[in-house]
Chain A
Amino acid sequence: MNKISIQNFSLQYSDGTESLRNISLDIPANQITVLFGPAGGGKSSLLRVLNRLNDLADVIHQEGKVLLDGEDVLSPKIDVIALRRKVGMVFARPVVLPFSIRKNLTYGLEVAGEKDSDRINGSVENSLQQAALWDEVKDRLDDPAIALSGGQQQRLCLARVLALEPEVILLDEPTSGLDPISTGKVEESLQGLKQDYTIILVPHSVQQAARTADLAAFLLQGELVEVASGDTMFTNPRDQRTQDYVQGRFG
């Protein structure tokens, strides 16, 4: 069963950048799907459509369907707030809210109107465990989140998403500002998380795409050039353009 089904989706911004042309892509559940390609290819845009964060941008034309569990998320009848809890996002630069570590995690539940304090407190530990951060911060949950290192902050951002018990996790170049060890920790966390969540990742390098992809989709200037399993995409891609990019001959 495909978790997300993008059908003939096209998008144009008012300034003409990063548009998408007739994208059709099925994203399976409980796998890591990677959207990779050179800059400006539309990967981030596509990601932001999935949680309707794109609504904040200046879009002049949009058509097609994006189905999540069979429902079109682009329909005006959709509860966008609920969608954003179901489909969480981790951004490129870790952005922690100006609160304590604990409050960063409870913020999402608070704005959702969650009152049960047991549930709220439970989610703090649970999400930090899943993000492999619990041991490092369990004694200082009330310290300001800004005091954490870059890698820890990014894992906090991941925990923040997990606290809302989403079904899909979107990650937009999540390790681009991190050192190699932190990058490795995040990548390995994803391997564990995919058992319970559907993960869609825009990697910051072809190597990261190769290390993490179960399914890989190559986007070039708004066009979906090729989709293949991770093993195939990086050892034997079909399209010449994919081949050139994967080999590092352009980008």
Chain B
Amino acid sequence: MKSSSHHRYKQQQFGFSLLTIMTFLTIIPIAGVVIYILVLGAPAINWEFIFGFPRGGMREGGIWPAIVGTFYLTLGTAAFAVPIGIGAAIYLSEYAPDNKATRLIRIAIINLAGIPSVVYGLFGLGLFVLFLQFGTSILAGSLTLSIMTLPVIISTTEEALKSVPQAFRTVSISVGATKWQTIRKIILPQALPGILTGVILGLERAAGETAPILFTVAAFFLPRLPSSPLDATMALPYHLFVISTQVPGMPIEIQYGTALVLLVFVLSMNIIATTIRSRARARRQW
């Protein structure tokens, strides 16, 4: 009897050890990437690098236009994807009847999420740049990126809405509120942290993508900052691609410096999202 439970205990120990090793194996590459980029890119970071324009075929100077461009693109993506995405999620979660049409919509959204980003880029080129004649512009880029971001925003928003207890809806209706009042006053506010987290994660992905902006907005080099949505712009992911492959003799620090800036941009969005989520969980009144 004793040996059997002892044997099982040992087995459990072994299992846990294995799982612990797996976990560390996951962390190591991530830590590795961050440290590698940090070490190689830190030397390049200074005031001029962040706020200056590229000079000498981008081998010197700064990456300010790319930073600004990425910022504008993120904003633009948000402008389209957030209202449409949240609106669609509210409709699907609270109003849509359980019929064929609804199921078709859901399948479409799931499929959207699976489309490779370069295909989005080509689609954006065809529709926004050429057919609608927006040209290579922030507008076209934002629209393309927002279509790509929609599935993420819709599904995380729906999750957030669904996580709000059904009982709240029942109670609200029973005291004479309309469905929309219930959504506006109770469901949305309670789901907001989850929605925000989803939006930020979606936008962060959009900020870091290269392929969709390749054909729709990205410029190799622009001497001035973009002044209207119809202007093309430089952007960090594309800039990184360009200086790492297209420009001979590019100093290593510039490449890794650019990567570091992009990484910091993305990681800080992550941290913001996580903070929102954990704060909200602590203050949750259900």
Contact, chains A and B (beta carbon distance below 8 A): yes
> A81: which of B167, B170, B176, B185 is its contact (CB, 8 Å)?
B176
Contact A95 to B167, CB < 8 A, known contacts A111-B181, A144-B285 = yes
Tell me if B79 is interfacial: C-beta within 8 Å of chain A: no
Residues of B within 8 A of A89 (CB): 174
Nearest-CB distance from B197 to chain A (Å)?
18
A164 touches B167 (CB 8 A): no
Nearest-CB distance from A93 to chain B (Å)?
7
A82 touches B176 (CB 8 A): yes
Distance in angstroms between the alpha carbons of A93 and B165 in the assembled complex:
13
Binary flags per residue of B149-176, CB closer than 8 Å to A gives 1, else 0: 0000000000000000101101111111
**Interface size range on A against B:** 20 to 34
DSSP class of B's interface residues: helix, strand, loop or mixed? helix
Distance in angstroms between the alpha carbons of A84 and B172 in the assembled complex:
10
Distance in angstroms between the alpha carbons of A208 and B199 in the assembled complex:
51
A98 touches B174 (CB 8 A): no
B285 touches A93 (CB 8 A): no
A97 touches B173 (CB 8 A): no
Contact A146 to B176, CB < 8 A, known contacts A53-B170, A111-B185 = no
Contact A84 to B175, CB < 8 A, known contacts A99-B285, A146-B285 = yes
Residues of A within 8 A of B177 (CB): 81, 107-108, 111
Nearest-CB distance from A103 to chain B (Å)?
10
Tell me if A56 is interfacial: C-beta within 8 Å of chain B: yes
Query: Which residue on chain A has the smallest CB distance to residue B284?
Result: A98
Query: Which residue on chain A has the smallest CB distance to residue B286?
Result: A98
In the complex, besides A93-B167, A97-B172, 16 extra interface pairs with C-beta distance below 8 angstroms are A51-B174, A53-B170, A53-B173, A53-B174, A85-B175, A91-B167, A98-B168, A99-B285, A108-B175, A108-B177, A111-B175, A111-B176, A111-B181, A112-B176, A144-B285, A161-B175
Instruction: Write the residues of chain B forming the contact surface with A, with a CB cutoff of 8 angstroms.
Output: 165, 167-168, 170-178, 181, 185-186, 190, 284-286
Instruction: Write the residues of chain A forming the contact surface with B, with a CB cutoff of 8 angstroms.
Output: 51, 53, 56, 81-82, 84-85, 88-89, 91, 93, 95, 97-99, 107-108, 110-112, 144-146, 157, 160-161, 164
